[in-house]
Amino acid sequence: MPELPEVETIVRGLAGPLAGRAIERVEVLRPDLIDGEPADAFAAALPGRAIRSVTRRAKNTLMDLGGERLAVNLGMTGRLLLARPDEALPTHLGVRLHLSGGLELRYHDPRRFGRLWRMSDERWREWDAALGVEPLSPEFTVPRLWDGVKRSRVAIKTWLMDQRKVVGVGNIYASEALFRAGIDPRRPARRLRRYEVARLVDGVRTVLTEAIEHRGTTFLDYRDESGQPGAFARRLKVYDREGAPCTACGAPVRRIVQANRSSFFCDVCQH
């Protein structure tokens, strides 16, 4: 579900309410959501810690606990929800973090592809180093992307979704960025020309920035920390628009399958 704009929206929404709160009690209702240690060890380790800040790396939410971090990956259908402890419990509730001041942070996930885990500072450095460049950072440049694509034979759309190369771009925004750049998603990465890489840098930055401004894309399940959907879905130009007219030329948008995921594009506008 959530790509960079959705996670960024959630992180911005959680940062204020969670800053300075202590974790008082942890309930794990779905132990398979906890990675790296048994669920009871996870639940026992957190109480007494305080949340210093909430940030994002790639599609992950990170809570700085001082000396260690709590990381959350939402998978396809995960939600991080702020609630009062007496609010009705939804089905598929996975983890409850009871915080100081009568606030609760809930992790909710029907498909349970998401996960939560703790990371030491040392582990965090390794983990962070294995991830690719943040596309909204100054390091996301044409030379850097050019250097990355030129040795890869995979289709550019698949390449763009590889989190070891560029982070945060998932199935929706990969199609959208390539449409904006006018590049066919099937093109081998190393066949891109430098001017096309420049358009791609621009396309990725632009679509992610606009999507954040609209609080993300709700396709099916995505909700922010207050349970609200994002508004960017109606601004998508190709994703989930198979057969509908291209917004630029009117030709029907095509759907193909790449790496077992749907790709959408306009074969008139994208080469």
Nearer to DNA, 99 or 158 (CB): 158
Q: How far is the CB of 237 from DNA (least distance, A)?
A: 15
Q: How far is the CB of 209 from DNA (least distance, A)?
A: 17
Q: Which amino acid makes up residue 201?
A: V
Nearer to DNA, 23 or 211 (CB): 211
153 labelled catalytic: no
| Residue among 144, 186, 235, 261 flagged as catalytic | 261
Nearer to DNA, 76 or 142 (CB): 76
* CA gap 208, 136 in Å, rounded: 8
Nearer to DNA, 121 or 242 (CB): 242
* CA gap 254, 240 in Å, rounded: 10
Q: How far is the CB of 181 from DNA (least distance, A)?
A: 19
With beta carbons less than 8 A apart as the criterion, state whether 179 and 240 touch. Answer: no
157 labelled catalytic: no
| Residue among 21, 49, 57, 59 flagged as catalytic | 59
**Lookup: tokens for 109:** 């996930």
Q: Which residues of 53-79 are buried (b: 16+ CB within 10 A; e: fewer)?
A: bbebbbbbbbbbbeebbbbbbbbbbbb
56 labelled catalytic: no
Interface residues with DNA (CB under 7 A) are 1-3, 6, 32, 58-60, 73, 75-76, 91-92, 110-113, 152-155, 158, 161, 163, 170-172, 216-222, 257, 259-262
Q: How far is the CB of 6 from DNA (least distance, A)?
A: 5
Q: How far is the CB of 110 from DNA (least distance, A)?
A: 4
Q: How far is the CB of 171 from DNA (least distance, A)?
A: 4
| Residue among 2, 5, 135, 185 flagged as catalytic | 2
Angle between helices 194-213 and 142-149 (to 10 degrees): 120
Nearer to DNA, 17 or 110 (CB): 110
* CA gap 212, 231 in Å, rounded: 10
261 labelled catalytic: yes
What pairing do the DSSP bridges indicate for beta strands 53-57 and 93-99? unpaired
Nearer to DNA, 59 or 106 (CB): 59
DSSP letters for 17-66: HHTTPBEEEEEES-GGGB-SS-HHHHHHHSTT-B--EEEEETTEEEEE-S
- Name the burial class of residue 17, with classes exposed (0-12), middle (13-18) and buried (19+) by CB atoms within 10 angstroms of its CB: middle
Distances from the Cα of 86 to the Cαs of 26, 152, 156, in angstroms? 15, 52, 48
* DSSP 8-state symbol, 237: S
DSSP letters for 147-160: HHHTT--SBHHHHH
- Which residue numbers are catalytic? 2-3, 59, 261
